Structure 1
Amino acid sequence: MKKYLLMLPVMLLASLGIHAQTTKFTDLIYYASLKNSDVYDNIMQNNYFRQDYSIDVNGHEVEYFKNITGKPNTEKIEVGNYTKLYNGDILRTVHYTSTDPQHIINMIAQAKRFGLDLKFQGADEANNIYIYDNSFYAVSIYLRRDQTSGMVEIKQKEYLGIE
């Protein structure tokens, strides 16, 4: 019984150092289909992130958000980059970065559960690289080899379906 009483405070102290990831892979996929104003509204509603800053890049606004819960400034989301197609459609790109490698490892697992196909797994001098793909999204995940940070890039793809 004394063992269990000793374990309880130790477990409580250990849990204080654990911080949950504030965004999921499915959130990032969802953001890839939204306009900046809709992403802003969605992110502000959750109270996990705040807008860091916004800049104009080649005539369109790119917005940067950083987390304010858990370990502040460990997670960042960038929205607003896009490619405009000849027919006027817009293919958006979302970037997520984290200085906690466990967040990136979680994103890799979530991408697999989302049903994306792993097209490439390899490494360069700095990163372990995972490239996932399906008919709608191209996802690149980079995890620093020194386990200090990582990035997830989600790009919408032009879907050529039969109409």
Structure 2
Amino acid sequence: MKKYLFMLPVMLLVSLSMYGQSTKFSDLIYFTGLSNGEVYNNLLQGTTFRQDYSVNVNGRELEYFKNITGKPNTEKIMVGDYTKLYDGSVLRTVNYTSTDPQHILNMISQAKRFGLEMKFHGADEANNIYLFDSSFYHVSIYLRRDQTSGLVEIKQKEYLGLE
């Protein structure tokens, strides 16, 4: 009985120091279909991210969000980059960066579970590179070879359906 009483506080202390990833791959996919204002509202309702800053680049309002829970400032999300098509529709891009390599590894496994097909896995001088593809999205994941940070870039693709 004494050893159980000892283990309970130890387990509580360990669980207090644990933290999780602030967002999931499916959330990032969801953000590609939203405007900047809608992403802003979603992230603020979740209370794990807050807006860091926004900047206007070539007429596009890029908004940067950083996490405020767990290990603050380890995760960032950038929205606002897009490609405008000839018919006026917009294909959005969402970038997620993390200084925790485990978060990037989690994103790789979540992308596989999401049903995306891995088209390429390789490396260059600085990064391990993972490219995933589906009919609707192109996903590039870069994990620094020195395990210091990583990037997930999700781009919407133009869907050419038959009418």
TM category (shorter chain) comes to over 0.9
Listed as ranges, the matches of 1:1-163 within 5 Å are 1-163=1-163
Secondary structure of the 2:162 match is coil
- What letter corresponds to residue 88 of structure 2 in structure 1? G
Whole-Å Cα distance in 2 between the matches of residues 63 and 86 of structure 1?
25
Distance in 2, matches of 1:41 and 1:10, equals: 38
Question: In 2, distance between residues paired with 1:51 and 1:8?
Answer: 38
Return structure 1 stretches of 4+ with deviation > 2 angstroms.
Answer: 1-17
Matched residue type, 1:145: R
Query: Cα RMSD (Å) of the superposition?
Result: 1.2
Aligned residue identity for 2:29: I
Residue deviations 1:101-133 (CA, integer Å, cap 9, x gap): 111111111101100000001111111111000
Letter of the aligned partner of 2:33 in structure 1? Answer: S
Tell me the TM-score normalised to structure 2 length: 0.95
User: C-alpha displacement at 1:11, in angstroms?
Assistant: 2.7
Q: 1:123 to 1:61 in 2, by over 3 A?
A: same
Aligned residues: 163
Percent of aligned pairs with the same residue?
75
User: Where in structure 2 are there 5+ consecutive unaligned residues?
Assistant: none
Which consecutive residues of structure 1, in runs of 5 or more, have no partner in the other structure?
none
Query: What letter corresponds to residue 16 of structure 1 in structure 2?
Result: L
Query: 1:108-163, CA deviations, whole angstroms, 9 ceiling, x for partnerless residues?
Result: 11101100000001111111111000000000011111111111000000111101
Secondary structure of the residue that 2:20 maps to in structure 1?
A: coil
Measure, in 2, the Cα distance between the counterparts of 1:44 and 1:16: 24
Aligned counterparts of 1:28 and 1:48: Cα–Cα separation in 2 = 14
**Which residue identity lines up with residue 67 of structure 1 in the other structure?**
N
Distance 1:151 1:17 in 2: 25
TM-score normalised by L of structure 1: 0.95
Whole-angstrom CA distance in 1 between matches of 2:73 and 2:3: 38
Q: CA deviation at 1:43?
A: 0.9
CA displacement at 1:17 relative to structure 2: 2.4
